Amino acid sequence: MVLPEAKENKSEGHGGGGQTAGDTIIHRVIIDRRMWVLPILFWAGVVGLSFWWNLIQLDQHAQHMAVNRGRLVFETIQTMRLWNARHGGVYVPVTETTPSNIYLKTRERDITSPAGIALTMINPAYMTRQIGELLKEGETWVHITSLKPINPFNKPDGWEASSLESFETGTKERLDLFAEDDGVETYRYMAPLVTERACLACHHVQGYKEGDIRGGIRVSFSKASISKLVAPRIDLIALIHGMAWLVLSGLTLAMMAGLRASFRTIEEAYAHLDLRTGQLAASNKHLEEFAYITSHDLQEPLRTVSSYLGLFSKRYNDVLDDNGRELLNFAVDASKRLKLQISDLLKYSRVTHTKKEMDVVEMRAIVEEVLSNLETRITECGARVEVSPELPTILGDRSQLVRLVQNLISNALKYRSPDQPPLVRIGIRLDGRFWEVSVADNGIGIEEEYRERIFGIFQRLHGQGTYEGSGIGLAICQRVVECHGGTIRVESAEGGGSIFIFTLLAMEGQGPEGTSGADQPH
């Protein structure tokens, strides 16, 4: 292939374009202590939403407990009623609290035992009322009722009547929170009584048949009796959420304090700059130092954040609900991404922060080392790499040049086309005093509007879930090239893909007047 002619590098000086609106907002939040309330409010909102959601779940749990309690009392009474009915009633001594049942129409309602004791028959309905009197001592109220009651005491109130009507249409049970006349909130549970064969002895005269709904039993108990069972869990969840808010807010403020100190350092440095000469160079130098200091100093609080998040997950994962665990996973993933960004920022800053003497370097040896490093990835992708036989010898920093070439080839493999195996071509061309090295691929390509943006720090054209990485690789490439006195740009390749072109200063004797180093096709 023939490399396109060099064009004016419009991205020269990239990175020194001034402070953006986003930078201004971040700077204001970190420097102005009054703005530090924002992360506290943010975590308060997140933790508050989680706590609110847990309260909703606990309220639903309390309702399930109320249903189970009402169902247990009802089924216990129903079992005793069935036993009574199948035995045709039971006889007990007549007392003040157990007088003869005037509503029970049977010839043997009242009898006298051989010992002369007056006995009266207790049928299922009478027994239910007797049990209800005993349950009142435990703050549970029971009322047997029917739409066609024999005993006026069993007449339904409005709620009971509507429940009985709903049973006629197939409703199996009902639970409501009800405000009684004394203002006490109570749970009312009610289930239907189904006519069985044993029940017809008393109820056939009312026209009931086996299987008919002849009434229901209402079980009532105070809401407070359920709430006191749920209260300990509410206290525990409140404690956990309070601790989470304190830990997250504290760690965030600690990180902001570290950033604030770094910003102060930079502000003091800017205050002593000589704005009349070398302003751009000085600005770039301090930005590099800021990146190095900030990324280095942020590693310790980030390790603390990651450690506490891991500890919090280990200790309280079983206590949190699904929503709480999802929020915690979001925080863990964010800390991992931040760790990657800080690591890449350190790599970026070291390109210019660490100065080395330039050595004579064989570009072919550089490429061979990179291909050896990437051998596994190249094999896995089924990629093919073609290298020009005319790679020159230059003056440069070997480790930085390895990083430059490796980043470019790695990008070609990462952003490959899904329709064909990757093909990477490394070419060379002498243009005046500079070697132009090209790394061309047949991948997905880059739209023209994004060709300058991609060399910015943390600039990504795709979402986190599409391609891995922090978006700093090309920024590192640009800094390496600039440290060698060259430039870098990207163009479109014929047939699709991209061509990254960077320039390196030619050694003495490699120009047009030297060896056969005129423009060489590649």
Confidence of residue 26 (pLDDT cuts 50, 70, 90): low
208-218 pLDDT per residue, tens:
787 778 889 99
- Top mean pLDDT of 156-165, 299-308, 356-365 is at 156-165
Contact status, residue 286 vs residue 232, Cβ threshold 8 Å: no
Does 178 have pLDDT greater than 80? yes
Q: Kindly report which listed range (65-74, 398-407, 427-436, 512-521) carries the lowest average pLDDT score.
A: 512-521
Q: Strand pairing partners for 502? A: 437, 488
Does 37 have pLDDT greater than 60? yes
Confidence of residue 431 (pLDDT cuts 50, 70, 90): confident
d(CA 68, CA 61): 11
Does 498 have pLDDT greater than 70? yes
Confidence of residue 189 (pLDDT cuts 50, 70, 90): very high
Query: pLDDT value at position 155?
Result: 92
Amino acid at 420: Q
d(CA 327, CA 49): 10
CA atoms within 13 A on the CB side of 338: 20
Contact status, residue 153 vs residue 215, Cβ threshold 8 Å: no
Nearest to 456 by CA among 477, 469, 472: 472
What CATH topology corresponds to 359-505? Answer: Heat Shock Protein 90 (3.30.565)
Does 10 have pLDDT greater than 80? no
Query: Average pLDDT in the 350-371 region?
Result: 77
Does 353 have pLDDT greater than 60? no
Q: Going edge to edge, which strands form the sheet with 118-122? A: 90-93, 118-122, 110-112
DSSP state for residue 226 in the 8-state scheme = H
Q: What are phi and psi of 268, to 5 degrees?
A: -65, -35
Q: Which of residues 298 and 441 earns the better pLDDT score?
A: 441
Does 42 have pLDDT greater than 60? yes
- Return the CA Rg of the chain: 42
Q: Strand pairing partners for 435? A: 430, 504
Q: What residues does each domain of the chain span?
A: 33-47+234-353, 56-228, 359-505
Q: Strand 174-179 to strand 185-194: parallel, antiparallel, or no bridges (unpaired)?
A: antiparallel
The enclosing H or E element of 86 equals: helix 37-86
Does 191 have pLDDT greater than 80? yes
Q: Which of residues 110 and 2 earns the better pLDDT score?
A: 110
Confidence of residue 16 (pLDDT cuts 50, 70, 90): very low
Contact status, residue 174 vs residue 166, Cβ threshold 8 Å: yes
Report, at the CATH architecture level, how domain 56-228 is classified: 2-Layer Sandwich (3.30)
The CA distances from residue 76 to 70, 92, 332, in Å, are 10, 21, 50
Query: pLDDT value at position 348?
Result: 59
pLDDT > 90: percent of the chain = 12
Nearest to 59 by CA among 177, 178, 140, 159: 177
Query: Average pLDDT in the 447-471 region?
Result: 58
Query: pLDDT value at position 35?
Result: 67
- Residue partners of 157: CB distance under 8 A and separation at least 6: none
Q: Strand pairing partners for 438? A: 427, 501
Read off the tokens for 226. Answer: 């359920």
Question: For the chain, what is the mean pLDDT?
Answer: 77
Q: Counting Cβ atoms within 10 Å, is residue 450 exposed (0-12), middle (13-18) or buried (19+)?
A: exposed
Confidence of residue 397 (pLDDT cuts 50, 70, 90): confident
Query: Average pLDDT in the 10-16 region?
Result: 40
Confidence of residue 71 (pLDDT cuts 50, 70, 90): very high
